[in-house]
């Protein structure tokens, strides 16, 4: 079994805003293209042009329909990748030490050279955030683009995870949760950011921001325009007076 | 070495080189950084594609489609060599030929037709972004039969906007995201301004601005909208006019704006039954008259310091009676017909919601006005100290336009915007250069046809009345194969591509000899009645010859249409080609800058796969133009002027000094907009990231329709050659001229069969009428609407070949409202038959609640013909995916008189995809669960794709 670091110097992770995510899959595909040519084995696709195409992905979007009793049904798009938990069961369950959490920044990684593909970590992850590569038989997971965020070969402003850089609706934010002043900590504080399935005791680093309440069709009228038709002369009477006023302005 | 004892490379090599070009994974035209890295064969290979941070469209972001470009570029469906058909059409059997043979054959076919009867060539391009070239080529060839795909896409949106105010949404203009206080978005096509809308929504969310989504389906943008209006398809116009009714009733309109910028005060002749009834009263110079309410006299609307009246009957100098257009407008929309209670049942929107929304719109527009401290001068010379705006903005696209009442619905939306005073005012809608461009700044359509001669002008344009229709001498027979600009669809500014094949097959108005198409999947998802179109393409006459004798088709991929071509010209992928998103067409401008862009071969096709021998279609077209000796494409000695498309992009001049690209013109590259060709132009674009932009001066940023500084700048930049008057046309006189013709006035009269329809639908003020298909059917027999939505992660059929995107959308269920499921006994996983007046399909079903209660829907263009796109015959796209197209006929159900009309808008001819009415019933669970109809698998000569894909293996960094 593998140990978790007692503390990490930083706690890097993502804030995902469910209020602005339109479910476009930009993050999903950009993640795939960055990572298939990057960290570790490629993210393989089986039967890519066949009857049952299926590949390894590090980030997927799940779409749910919500039907409240007092409002019309709505759709929530829910992007999900590794949450880089402080108490990551996928690390402690690993028999070889391949699955580990970095003490520098809290990123949970798989050292593929040590991975035997037993899949225990994926079983232990309550979020289903790990996927076995179908060709190399090693465990794949979000690396928080560890090969981007410290990479001297790319411009400083681009040293963020690929999903964050590409997100068109600004629904993904990257930062250090150990710093209360960081952008991500502030967002969580301001918007009521929450843990996914806190009852699992994994202490996820990634946080989600809730969708804002939606207006209901029959909600109270805040503004009822007064009818000018009721005024003297009806609409045309109003028009004459309004034009006269306009002429004097 | 990282910490914790693991070997981790934190700073791996990413790419050898970054090349910046323009995306083509959909129509949005984002800037991309293409990272190249040496592959196993030593050739440059695409390592990664990301958004270009400097680019005006996407500012660094990139959508799922753009990020999947690698898989598109290396698709196993890519065509490799020119192909000549060897089997029967539709089978997909070809032999490979050399380019010389292909081009010689094409020029033989095309040359013979040009000398004999040029209209026997029908040249139609699909999702082509080079219409300023393809249209010009067709003009020089001399066939009247050219258009691109606008007729089956969104011409109602484009034409409704241009006719009304000289702009429209997407390429023509955008919401003022930074200043708007309320945003309403109607039925959208995801590829039209895809990333800018998402970025804009993020800005609104940041500022806490309310977003209202009006759409029968609550997915995508509607899922995050603060309020959803789950409207019944085809009733948006009625909903909008009910908002207009409420705003008028409350006096929540901008009268000053209406007086200054619109034809609201223009006098409309009231002379019931006469040939001038409903036309504008004009003076001898042809200038529309208004009634000065202070001087109490009729004067020209063009005069300065006029105080026009908006109501009251006026006696014109010649004794006729007239009333201001605004009075007619107010009378119409104040009528109870448009009261919320009257429209609620049809639209599915409650009266209280309509009232509240009208109140919220009024409040945002008039109580939160936006003021910018920027003086400006209008076209009449009046100086304004500030720019005052009405911060309510809208966006709309195919959801409102792909109906047979779409043109009037689009006009209704613009009427609403204009009454609020929110067109190009701060916080409202903003024009993107070169727009505004009202019909006075637009060409008229040109027809005619003489052997061996070019057309007198461009094919497509905006006609002003019946006298400009393209008809034969009998005043009835259409000149064009698609019957554009005829009585069937008079104001069809983008043509009717969806009618070309059926008309050509029927020989109505005449047969064609050569059908030449580019990037248009007409035998599948781009046609109504796909199965019928496949048969038409295969239909033979009594001699055993195909009714459409020759078909030339160019595509980069083995699409469904390839199988029906006689000669296939293989195009490059978007990373291997030159292209320009030209200022002569609809460039990539954003409201604050004029911008255009190019594509260039970031990789050489010869290095991108064994045996690839492909050429960019535009270069091939210019080559053919040279071989055919088309004017403007050959020198006096008969040799070709342009070596290829890149050469044309740099050296072609449409008018002196004005060419396809606006940046770095002039010998030294110092000029913008106008200037001599610069041989270094393409390199300068490449150095700048593939695009050019020139910022609109601060004084010209708003009120461009009436702004002197804008007009001066537009002239300087070559966007126009002189001032263009742009008075917003709330009352659209060209429509009234058609109505008058239908009433029996004028020289050109529509046939009797068309008169009632023209009278009813060509109202000069926006109206709503029920979509035609529903009108002609028994609603009890076909009680539901069926529509498609375009998924954010897929662009038409292009996405299906993409190994990554097809894992996201590999099959499409039919989403069915819960109550309908309960009534039909349907649960998730069931299959159902869906029946329209035209066809019956079998589809998988999924229950959904967040949808209008009368509406079934599915994702657009996921279904594939078995064997197409080099997918396995049993691919889910073919076996579980399906097209609604099989239910939609290109003609409406027959009427009592036996006549069948095109299933299109009667004004513009836009394909009425979303008028479809259906019923649904559960399929026997014993039935083999495969979607129906199925077709014989399409063959191809392509290599079998690999069974597994490990893209990027050669670059993997050790862990």
Closest to B233 in 3D by CA, of B462, B408, B398: B398
Interface of A with B in 73-132 (CB under 8 A): 73-77, 100, 102-104, 109-113
Q: What are B568-618's pLDDT values in tens digits?
A: 999 999 999 999 999 998 899 999 999 999 999 999 999 998 899 999 999
Interval B46-73 mean pLDDT:
98
- Residue B284, C-beta contacts closer than 8 angstroms, at least 6 positions apart: none
Taking CA–CA distances from A37, the nearest residue in chain B reads B952
The boundaries of every CATH 3.40.228.10 domain in chain B are 168-435
The stretches of B335-461 forming alpha helices (DSSP H) are 340-347, 351-367, 398-401, 406-420
Rounded to whole angstroms, how far apart are CA atoms B690 and B676?
20
Rounded to whole angstroms, how far apart are CA atoms A193 and A204?
12
Interface of A with B in 154-213 (CB under 8 A): 154, 157-158, 162, 165-171, 211-212
Closest to A117 in 3D by CA, of A129, A141, A133, A101: A133
Residue by residue, DSSP assigns B719-738 as S-SS-----B-SS-HHHHHH
Distance from CA of A238 to the nearest CA of B (A): 8
Interval B716-742 mean pLDDT:
97
Half-sphere exposure of B191 (CA within 13 A, CB side): 21
The CATH number of the domain covering residues in B17-74+576-695 = 2.20.25.90
A67: contact with B, CB 8 A cutoff = yes
The boundaries of every CATH 2.20.25.90 domain in chain B are 17-74+576-695
- Looking at residue A248, its pLDDT comes to 61
Q: What are B858-917's pLDDT values in tens digits?
A: 999 999 999 999 999 999 999 999 999 999 999 998 877 777 889 999 999 999 999 999
Q: Are B521 and B800 in contact (CB under 8 A)?
A: no
Average pLDDT, chain A: 94
The ipTM (two decimal places) reads 0.97
Distance from CA of B805 to the nearest CA of A (A): 8
Q: What are B604-613's pLDDT values in tens digits?
A: 999 998 899 9
Distance from CA of B227 to the nearest CA of A (A): 5
% of chain A surpassing 90 pLDDT? 86
**pTM reported for the whole predicted model:** 0.97
Query: Residue A196 has what DSSP assignment?
Result: S
Evaluate the omega torsion of the peptide bond into residue B933 and state whether it is cis, within 30 degrees of 0. yes
Residue A249 scores a pLDDT above 70: no
Q: What are B640-666's pLDDT values in tens digits?
A: 999 999 999 999 999 999 999 999 999
Residue A168: which of B61, B210, B311 has the nearest Cβ? B61
| Tokens of residue B309, six digits | 């009246």
A32: contact with B, CB 8 A cutoff = yes
Asked if the Cβ–Cβ distance from A39 to B957 is below 8 Å, we say yes
Rounded to whole angstroms, how far apart are CA atoms B390 and B393?
9
Rounded to whole angstroms, how far apart are CA atoms B193 and B392?
19
Interface of A with B in 125-154 (CB under 8 A): 134-135, 146-147, 150-154
| Tokens of residue B351, six digits | 């009266």
Average pLDDT, chain B: 96
Q: Are B877 and B868 in contact (CB under 8 A)?
A: no
- Looking at residue B958, its pLDDT comes to 45
Residue B171 scores a pLDDT above 60: yes
Q: What are A33-59's pLDDT values in tens digits?
A: 999 999 999 999 999 999 999 999 999
Confidence class of residue B516 from pLDDT cuts 50, 70 and 90?
very high
The boundaries of every CATH 3.40.50 domain in chain B are 117-157+443-570
Residue B3 scores a pLDDT above 60: no
Residue A168: which of B50, B199, B848 has the nearest Cβ? B199
Distance from CA of A235 to the nearest CA of B (A): 7
Interval A195-218 mean pLDDT:
94
Break chain A into its structural domains and give their ranges. 12-209
B486: contact with A, CB 8 A cutoff = no
Residue A32: which of B228, B804, B870 has the nearest Cβ? B804
Confidence class of residue B959 from pLDDT cuts 50, 70 and 90?
very low
CATH of B117-157+443-570, one of 3.40.50, 2.30.29, 1.20.120, 3.30.750: 3.40.50
Residue B1 scores a pLDDT above 60: no
CATH topology of domain A12-209: Alpha-Beta Plaits (3.30.70)
Rounded to whole angstroms, how far apart are CA atoms B132 and B660?
8
Which residue bears the tokens 């300068």? B684
Question: What region does A193 belong to: left with phi over 0, alpha with psi -120 to 50, or beta?
Answer: beta
Q: Are B23 and A165 in contact (CB under 8 A)?
A: no
Confidence class of residue A228 from pLDDT cuts 50, 70 and 90?
confident
| Chain A residues close to B227, C-beta within 8 Å | 214-215, 217
Tally DSSP H helices, then E strands, for chain A.
7, 11
Closest to B437 in 3D by CA, of B716, B168, B132: B168
Q: What are A178-190's pLDDT values in tens digits?
A: 999 999 999 999 9
Residue B928 scores a pLDDT above 80: no
| Tokens of residue B131, six digits | 């219409």
Asked if the Cβ–Cβ distance from B327 to A21 is below 8 Å, we say no
Residue B182 scores a pLDDT above 50: yes
Burial of B781 (0-12, 13-18, 19+ CB in 10 A): exposed
A21: contact with B, CB 8 A cutoff = yes
Residue B311: which of A67, A72, A239 has the nearest Cβ? A239
B689: contact with A, CB 8 A cutoff = no
Rounded to whole angstroms, how far apart are CA atoms B292 and B307?
5
Interval B463-476 mean pLDDT:
97
Q: What are B395-441's pLDDT values in tens digits?
A: 999 999 999 999 999 999 999 999 999 999 999 999 999 999 999 88
Interface contacts A/B by beta carbons within 8 Å: 321
Confidence class of residue A215 from pLDDT cuts 50, 70 and 90?
confident
- Residue B692 belongs to what H/E stretch? strand B691-695
- Residue A191, C-beta contacts closer than 8 angstroms, at least 6 positions apart: A17, A19, A209, A210
Residue B676 scores a pLDDT above 70: yes
| Tokens of residue B744, six digits | 């029996």
- Looking at residue B189, its pLDDT comes to 79
| Chain A residues close to B881, C-beta within 8 Å | none
Which residue bears the tokens 């298939």? A36
Asked if the Cβ–Cβ distance from A53 to B948 is below 8 Å, we say no
| Tokens of residue B455, six digits | 């057309």
Asked if the Cβ–Cβ distance from A147 to B219 is below 8 Å, we say no
| Tokens of residue B894, six digits | 């027959």
Asked if the Cβ–Cβ distance from A242 to B255 is below 8 Å, we say yes
Confidence class of residue A225 from pLDDT cuts 50, 70 and 90?
low
- Looking at residue A1, its pLDDT comes to 66
Produce one character per residue of A32-52: b if its CB has 16 or more CB atoms within 10 Å, e if not.
Answer: bbbbbbbbbbbbbbebbbbbe
Asked if the Cβ–Cβ distance from A5 to B219 is below 8 Å, we say no
Residue B870: which of A49, A53, A222 has the nearest Cβ? A49
Strand boundaries in B448-544, DSSP class E: 514-518
Burial of B805 (0-12, 13-18, 19+ CB in 10 A): buried
Interval B109-122 mean pLDDT:
98
Closest to B368 in 3D by CA, of B393, B348, B343: B393
CATH of B776-922, one of 3.40.190.10, 3.20.20.210, 2.40.40.20, 3.40.50.1860: 2.40.40.20
What CATH architecture is B168-435? 3-Layer(aba) Sandwich (3.40)
- Looking at residue B5, its pLDDT comes to 84
Residue B202: which of A20, A26, A49 has the nearest Cβ? A20
| Chain A residues close to B257, C-beta within 8 Å | none
């Amino acid at each position: 079994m593998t140990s978790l670091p007692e503390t990490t110097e930083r706690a890097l992770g993502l804030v995902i805003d469910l209020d602005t995510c339109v479910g476009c899959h930009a993050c999903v595909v950009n993640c795939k293209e960055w990572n298939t040519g990057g960290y570790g084995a490629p993210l393989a696709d089986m039967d890519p042009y066949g009857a049952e195409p299926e590949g390894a992905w590090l980030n997927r979007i799940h779409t749910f329909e919500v039907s409240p009793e007092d409002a019309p049904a709505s759709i929530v798009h829910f992007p999900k990748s590794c949450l880089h938990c402080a108490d990551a069961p996928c690390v402690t369950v690993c028999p070889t030490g391949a699955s580990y959490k970095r003490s520098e920044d809290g990123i949970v990684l798989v050292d593929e050279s040590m991975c035997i593909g037993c899949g225990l970590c994926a079983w232990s992850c309550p979020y289903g955030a790990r996927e076995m590569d179908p060709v190399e038989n090693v465990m794949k997971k979000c690396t928080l683009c560890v090969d981007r965020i410290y990479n001297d070969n790319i411009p400083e402003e681009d040293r963020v995870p690929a999903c964050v850089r590409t997100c068109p609706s600004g629904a993904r934010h990257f930062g250090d949760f150990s710093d209360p002043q960081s952008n991500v900590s502030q967002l969580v504080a301001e918007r009521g950011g929450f843990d996914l399935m806190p009852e699992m005791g994994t202490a996820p680093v990634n946080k989600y921001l809730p969708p804002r309440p939606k207006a209901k069709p029959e909600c109270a009228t805040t503004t009822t325009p007064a009818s000018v038709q009721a005024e003297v002369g009806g609409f045309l009477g109003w028009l004459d007076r309004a034009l006269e006023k306009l002429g004097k302005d | 070495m990282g910490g914790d004892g693991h070997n981790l490379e934190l700073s791996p090599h990413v790419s050898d080189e970054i090349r910046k070009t323009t995306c083509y994974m959909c129509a949005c035209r984002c800037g991309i950084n293409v990272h190249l890295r040496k592959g196993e064969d030593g050739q440059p290979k695409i390592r990664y594609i990301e958004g270009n941070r400097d680019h005006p469209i996407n500012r660094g972001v990139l959508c799922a489609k753009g990020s999947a470009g690698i898989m598109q570029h290396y698709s196993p469906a890519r065509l490799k060599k020119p192909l000549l058909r060897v089997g029967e059409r539709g089978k997909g059997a070809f032999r490979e030929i050399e380019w010389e043979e292909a081009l010689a054959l094409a020029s033989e076919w095309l040359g013979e037709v040009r000398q004999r009867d040029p209209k026997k060539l029908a040249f139609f391009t699909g999702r082509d972004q080079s219409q300023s070239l393809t249209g010009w080529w067709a003009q020089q060839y001399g066939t009247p039969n050219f258009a691109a795909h606008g007729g089956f896409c969104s011409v109602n949106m484009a034409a409704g906007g241009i006719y009304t105010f000289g702009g429209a949404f997407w390429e023509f203009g955008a919401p003022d995201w930074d200043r708007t206080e309320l945003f309403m978005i109607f039925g959208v096509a995801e590829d039209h301004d895809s990333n800018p809308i998402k970025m804009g929504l993020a800005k609104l969310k940041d500022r806490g601005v309310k977003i209202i989504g009006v759409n029968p389906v609550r997915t995508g943008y509607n899922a995050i909208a603060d309020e959803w209006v789950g409207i019944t398809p085809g009733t948006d116009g009625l909903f909008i006019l009910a908002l207009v009714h409420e705003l008028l009733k409350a006096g929540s309109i901008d009268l000053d704006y209406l007086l200054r910028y619109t034809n609201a005060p223009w006098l409309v002749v009231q002379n019931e039954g006469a040939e001038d009834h409903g036309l504008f009263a004009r003076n001898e110079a042809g200038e529309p008259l208004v009634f000065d309410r202070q001087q109490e006299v009729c004067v020209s609307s063009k005069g300065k310091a006029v105080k026009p009246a908006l109501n009251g009957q006026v006696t014109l100098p010649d004794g006729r009676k007239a009333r201001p257009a605004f009075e007619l407008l107010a009378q119409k929309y104040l009528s109870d017909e448009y009261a919320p209670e009257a429209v609620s049942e049809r639209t599915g929107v409650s009266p209280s919601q309509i009232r509240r929304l009208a109140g919220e719109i009024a409040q945002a527009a008039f109580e939160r006005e936006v003021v910018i401290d920027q003086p400006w001068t209008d076209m009449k010379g009046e100086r304004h100290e500030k720019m005052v705006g009405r911060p309510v903005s809208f966006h709309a696209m195919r959801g409102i336009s792909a109906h047979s009442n779409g043109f009037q619905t689009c006009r209704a939306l613009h009427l609403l915007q204009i009454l609020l005073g929110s067109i190009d005012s701060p916080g409202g809608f903003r024009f993107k250069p070169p727009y505004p461009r009202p019909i006075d700044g637009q060409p008229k359509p040109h027809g005619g046809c003489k052997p061996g001669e070019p057309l007198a002008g461009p094919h497509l344009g905006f006609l002003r009345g019946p006298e400009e229709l393209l008809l034969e001498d009998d005043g009835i027979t259409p000149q064009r194969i698609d019957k554009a600009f005829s009585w069937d669809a008079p104001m069809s500014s983008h043509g009717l591509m969806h009618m070309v094949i059926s008309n050509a097959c029927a020989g109505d108005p005449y047969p064609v000899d050569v059908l030449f198409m580019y990037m248009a999947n007409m035998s599948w998802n781009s046609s109504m009645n796909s199965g019928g179109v496949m048969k038409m393409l295969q239909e033979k006459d009594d001699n055993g010859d195909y009714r459409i004798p020759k078909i030339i088709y160019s595509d980069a991929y083995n699409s469904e249409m390839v199988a029906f071509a006689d000669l296939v010209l293989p195009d490059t992928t978007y990373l291997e080609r030159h292209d320009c998103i030209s200022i002569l067409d609809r460039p990539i401008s954003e409201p604050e800058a004029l911008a255009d862009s190019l594509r260039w071969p970031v990789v050489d096709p010869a290095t991108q796969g064994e045996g690839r021998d492909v050429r960019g279609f535009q270069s091939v077209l210019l080559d053919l133009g040279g071989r055919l000796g088309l004017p403007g494409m050959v020198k006096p000695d008969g040799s070709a002027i342009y070596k290829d498309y890149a050469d044309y992009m740099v050296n072609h001049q449409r008018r002196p000094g004005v060419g396809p690209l606006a940046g770095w013109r002039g010998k030294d590259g110092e000029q913008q907009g106008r200037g001599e060709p610069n041989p270094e132009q393409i390199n300068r674009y490449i150095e700048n990231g593939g695009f050019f932009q020139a910022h609109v001066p601060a004084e010209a940023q708003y009120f461009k329709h009436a702004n002197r500084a804008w007009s001066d700048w537009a002239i300087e930049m070559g966007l126009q050659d002189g001032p263009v008057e742009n008075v917003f046309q709330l009352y659209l006189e060209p429509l009234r001229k058609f109505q008058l013709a239908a009433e029996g006035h004028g020289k050109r009269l529509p046939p009797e069969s068309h008169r009632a329809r023209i009278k009813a639908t060509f109202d000069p003020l926006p109206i709503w009428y029920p979509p035609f298909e529903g009108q002609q059917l028994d609603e009890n027999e076909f009680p539901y609407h069926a529509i498609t939505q375009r998924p954010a992660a897929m662009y038409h059929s292009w996405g299906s070949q993409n190994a990554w995107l097809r894992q996201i959308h590999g099959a499409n269920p039919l989403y069915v409202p819960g109550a309908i499921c309960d009534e039909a006994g349907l649960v998730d996983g069931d299959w159902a038959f869906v029946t329209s007046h035209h066809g019956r399909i079998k589809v998988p079903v999924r229950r959904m609640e967040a949808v209008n209660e009368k509406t079934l829907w599915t994702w657009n263009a996921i279904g594939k013909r078995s064997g197409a796109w080099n997918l396995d015959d049993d691919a889910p796209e073919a076996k579980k995916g399906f097209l609604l197209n099989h239910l939609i006929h290109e003609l409406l159900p027959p009427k009592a008189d036996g006549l069948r009309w095109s299933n299109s808008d009667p004004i513009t001819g836009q394909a009425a995809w979303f008028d479809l009415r259906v019923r649904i019933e559960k399929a026997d669970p014993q039935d083999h669960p495969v979607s129906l109809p199925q077709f014989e698998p399409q063959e191809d000569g392509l290599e079998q794709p690999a069974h597994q894909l490990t893209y990027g293996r050669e670059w993997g960094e050790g862990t």
